[in-house]
Amino acid sequence: MEQYVVKPGPEAFLPPAAASMGIVLPDPGEAHYEGRIIDEEDAYEQIARKLLGAKVPTIFPGPLVLWKWNEKAGKKAEAIRELANALPARLIPMADYRPKYPKIDPEVEINPNHPNLTIWHNKIDACIFVGVHCHQANLALKIIRGGTDCFTIALCAQAGHEDACASFRDINVEKIKKLTETVKRLKSEGVESQALPFTQIKMTRAGRVA
C-alpha cells in the first residue's frame, strides 16, 4: 500500500484519521508537511510560502490564546496578531468548543464540530489553527480535510497534528515570531502576498461591530 499523504481535500464522506493511516507525529526539532517529517528549520519557509500564496489566508485563534489565562497566552496572542498583520491574514476566532445550533455565524466564528461551514462561507484556502486543544483541533482538521480544499496548518504547543497538512510542535512566542520574520523576509525578496483585500472583523460581547 502506498504511503498516505495528508493533502487538502475534499477527501471523503468520512476521511480517516491520519494517525490510523500510519502518519507519525514529529519529534522535538521536527515538523511535518503533508505527512512527511521535515526539519523544523525548513518548515518555516515552506509554511510561509503556502500562506503568502493563498487568496484567503486565515488564522483561527482558539481559547488557549484568545483568553489571557496567563502571561504567556497574552504574549502569544500579540505574536499571532503580528503574524496576521505581516501576511496579511484574516483572524476568525474559535472562542470555545460549545456546539452551537442550529448554526454558527460563519463570517465571524469557527466551531470544531462543523468547521467546514466557516471554510466554505469565506472561501478560505489556507488556514492556521493555534491555541486550540489538541483533540478539538484534530477533530476540526479532519473534518476540514474531508469536505474542503483548504490547506490546514497547526501551530501546536504540544506534540503537533498529523491531521493538518502541515504542523509545528512545541510552538511558543519565539517560534511564532520566527514564522513572522520568515514571511517578512520572503516579501522583501519579492514574494508577493496573493491575499484578496479584506477588512479585519471587530467584535465585542454583543457581536460584530465592524
Partner 1 sequence: MNKKVEPKSNKILVSESVNLGEEGLKGQKVTDPNVMMFESEREPNFLTGSEVIKAAIKRANLDVMIAYPITPQSEAAALIGELFAEGYVREYFRGESEFAVMSQCAGAAFGGARVFTTTAGPGTLRAMENFPMWAGSRLPIQVCVTCRGINSPLSIQPDTLEMAYLLETGMLVWHAETAQDLYDWILGGFMVSEQPDVHLPLALCCDGFFVTHTKDTVMLQGEEMCLPRYDPYRSPVPCMDMECPPIRMMRDPFIMKSNYISYMTHASWQQEIHAAVERSRKHTLPIMNGSLIDTENVDREILIVASGTAVSQGREAIRLLEEEGIKVGLVKIKSIRPFPTEEVREATANAKTIFVPEFNIRGWLAREIKAILPNNERVIAGPHVAGGMTMPSEVIVEEIKKGLGIKSATMDRRG
Interaction between residue 97 and partner 1 (CB under 8 A): yes
Min dist CB 100 to partner 1, Å, is 10
Q: Which strands, in side-by-side order, build the sheet including 126-130? A: 36-39, 30-33, 166-168, 151-155, 126-130, 57-61, 90-91
Identity at 167, one-letter amino acid code: S
d(CA 150, CA 125): 4
Mask 115-144, x = binds partner 1 (CB under 8 A)?
------------------xxxx-xx--xx-
If the CB atoms of residues 101 and 199 are measured against partner 1, the closer one turns out to be 101
Distance CA(185)–CA(188), nearest Å, equals 5
- Least distance CB 160 / partner 1 (angstroms): 8
Which CB atom, from 134 or from 191, has the smaller least distance to partner 1? 134
Q: From start to end of 84-182, where are the E strands?
A: 90-91, 126-130, 151-155, 166-168
Residue 96 DSSP SS3? coil
Segment interacting with partner 1, rule: CB under 8 A, options 22-30, 41-49, 183-191, 198-206: 22-30
Q: Taking CB under 8 A as the rule, which mask of x and - marks residues 171-200 in contact with partner 1?
A: ------------------------------
Decide if 50 contacts 7 (C-beta within 8 A).
no
Q: Is position 98 an interface residue for partner 1 (rule: CB under 8 A)?
A: yes
> Which of helix, strand or coil describes residue 158?
coil
> Rounded to whole angstroms, what are the CA distances from 121 to 94, 114, 148?
15, 12, 11
Nearer to partner 1, 1 or 210 (CB): 1
The interface region with partner 1, picked from 20-28, 47-55, 83-91, 197-205 by CB under 8 A, is 20-28
Residues of span 43-62 touching partner 1 by CB under 8 A: none
Of 22, 42, 85, 200, the one binding partner 1 (CB under 8 A) is 22
